Amino acid sequence: MHGPWGETSMPAVLSDLERDILEYMVTYLRTHTYQPSIREIGEEFGIRSTKTVSEYLSALAAKGYLERDPSRSRGIRILGVDLNPHTVSIPCFSELPASARGFESDGVESWLSVDRRLGAARGSYFLKVREPRWQGFGVEVGDLLLVEPAAVPDLKDRDLAMVHLGERPDLYRVQRAGLSLRLQAVGDRGEAMAVEDPARLVVGGRVAGLHRRFDDTPLPTSTTTH
């Protein structure tokens, strides 16, 4: 992975507010071609103290996301972010989460820059397939699955969904007929499993796309989520 953290290290984890501030700054920069002032950042997030805003910016700088020039009022440079307004950077994970809480932000393997026209919704992620166990769904080792956020009502018949049923999430084929919901595990040729209480089902997203390369050319990466 390339960026201010070196070739192999991972980016430091951000708090929710730190990430929101960083995303606001990137959006503002894309729109205005210059950074927002500390006062504007405070107004956006209801922070009255400019000192508090400055402390958040210092935290982002300490974690390697920003460079600050204290001699300038807007002396901030965002590091490792693709500022192309037509692309969005999506986190890529190499392993499924071990619990129903979902992916941890410090488990990101890389960030992949994707054209916004591909329709990647906010909260989407890539999963790099490491094992051949999903070949029954046409998924091969090395494929990148683009998974978009989805709740149970969003799931449609024949969707591939990441669902947490056992010890860890797995990929299932959705079968819907009216209000009934069934899940078919890969390689399971028997009857699909009926979901008795769909409202309690933990869904990690719906597969919206699959990227497969036929050579070893690396994909463009970024270091933050924009």
Q: What is the DSSP track for 102-145?
A: ---GGG--EEEEEEGGG-PPTT-EEEE--SGGGGGGT--TT-EE
Q: What is the arithmetic mean of pLDDT over 89-95?
A: 81
Reference 12, options 61, 52, 56, 51; nearest CA is 61
pLDDT at 9 over 60: no
Q: What are the extents of the domains in the chain?
A: 16-78, 87-222
Is 87-222 CATH 2.60.40.10? no
Q: What is the pLDDT of residues 164-202, one digit of tens each?
A: 887 778 899 999 988 889 999 876 666 788 888 888 888
Cα Rg, the chain, nearest whole Å? 20
- Residue 55 CA neighbour count, 13 Å, CB half: 7
Mention every residue, 6+ apart, whose C-beta is less than 8 A from residue 6.
Answer: none
Architecture of domain 16-78: Orthogonal Bundle (1.10)
Q: What is the arithmetic mean of pLDDT over 195-211?
A: 89
pLDDT at 223 over 60: no
Percent of the chain with pLDDT over 70: 78
Q: What is the pLDDT of residues 51-64, one digit of tens each?
A: 999 999 999 999 88
Write down the pLDDT at residue 51.
93
Q: What whole-number distance in Å separates Cα of residue 32 and Cα of residue 100?
A: 40
Q: What is the mean pLDDT of the chain?
A: 79
